[in-house]
């Protein structure tokens, strides 16, 4: 019984293969106005130093659809994060300490968007999905992206 509850608690509300599959039409249909995104292994591989073209395109499409994006990462490398997020013009929060939900709540307050219009998108249950639960927002999960070792 306990196990079941635990699984439900950690279950993502929607699952996608990759961030590109979170289409602007889906965001609009689901009334998402604020999309909080994890960075590492969600929007980029850990090794990517610059935003990929697909990411820049996707961000632009989401913005066009009226969706505010904020990157909320547990990564503590402030300069790296600022450098990565500047060209795509997306606000970023580093050292977010997910699963603590404080930074998610702060972003909703800053943009004055309610939890029901907010989604947390990430690759990890223990941080992203849990943080979404604590912030009372929907959790959407992408498959963890891994660096391909050649
Ligand atoms: Mg991640």
CA angle 50, 72, 98 (to 5 degrees): 130
pLDDT-derived band at 146, boundaries 50, 70, 90 = confident
CA atoms of 107 and 71, how far apart (whole Å): 10
Distance 6 CA to ligand 1 centre (A): 21
pLDDT value at position 10? 80
CA atoms of 121 and 39, how far apart (whole Å): 9
1 pLDDT above the threshold of 50: no
Convert the pLDDT of each residue in 61-79 to its tens digit: 999 999 999 999 999 999 9
Distance 64 CA to ligand 1 centre (A): 25
Structure-model confidence comparison of residues 10 and 33, the more confident one: 33
Domains and CATH numbers, the chain: 2-142 (3.40.50.1000)
Q: Other C-beta atoms within 10 Å of 34: how many?
A: 23
Q: Which of 139, 115, 84, 19 is nearest to 92 (CA)?
A: 84
Distance 24 CA to ligand 1 centre (A): 21
pTM of the complete model: 0.92
Distance 110 CA to ligand 1 centre (A): 23
Tell me the backbone φ, ψ of residue 11, rounded to 5 degrees.
Answer: -75, 135
Distance 65 CA to ligand 1 centre (A): 25
Distance 49 CA to ligand 1 centre (A): 15
pLDDT value at position 150? 46
Q: Other C-beta atoms within 10 Å of 131: how many?
A: 28
* The two three-digit tokens of residue 131, written as one number: 């943080």
Q: Are 118 and 33 in contact (CB under 8 A)?
A: yes
pLDDT-derived band at 145, boundaries 50, 70, 90 = confident
Which burial class, exposed, middle or buried, applies to 86 when counting CB atoms under 10 A from its CB (0-12, 13-18, 19+)? exposed
Q: Are 129 and 123 in contact (CB under 8 A)?
A: no
pLDDT value at position 4? 54
Convert the pLDDT of each residue in 35-55 to its tens digit: 999 999 999 998 899 999 999
Convert the pLDDT of each residue in 78-130 to its tens digit: 999 999 999 999 999 999 999 999 999 999 999 999 999 999 999 999 999 99
149 pLDDT above the threshold of 80: no
Beta bridge partners of 93: 72
Q: Is 57 helix (H, G, I), strand (E, B) or coil?
A: helix
């Amino acid at each position: 019984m306990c196990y079941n509850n635990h699984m439900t608690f950690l279950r993502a509300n929607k699952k996608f293969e990759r961030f590109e599959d979170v289409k602007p039409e889906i965001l609009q249909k689901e009334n998402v106005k604020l999309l909080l995104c994890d960075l590492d292994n969600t929007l980029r591989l850990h090794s990517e130093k610059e935003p990929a073209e697909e990411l820049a395109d996707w961000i632009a499409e989401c913005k066009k659809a009226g969706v505010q994006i904020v990157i909320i990462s547990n990564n503590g490398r402030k300069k790296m994060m600022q450098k990565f997020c500047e060209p795509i013009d997306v606000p970023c929060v580093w050292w977010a300490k997910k699963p603590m939900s404080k930074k998610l709540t702060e972003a909703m307050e800053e943009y004055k968007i309610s939890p029901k219009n907010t989604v947390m998108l990430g690759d990890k249950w223990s941080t992203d999905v849990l943080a979404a639960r604590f912030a009372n927002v929907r959790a959407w999960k992408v498959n963890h992206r891994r660096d391909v070792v050649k």
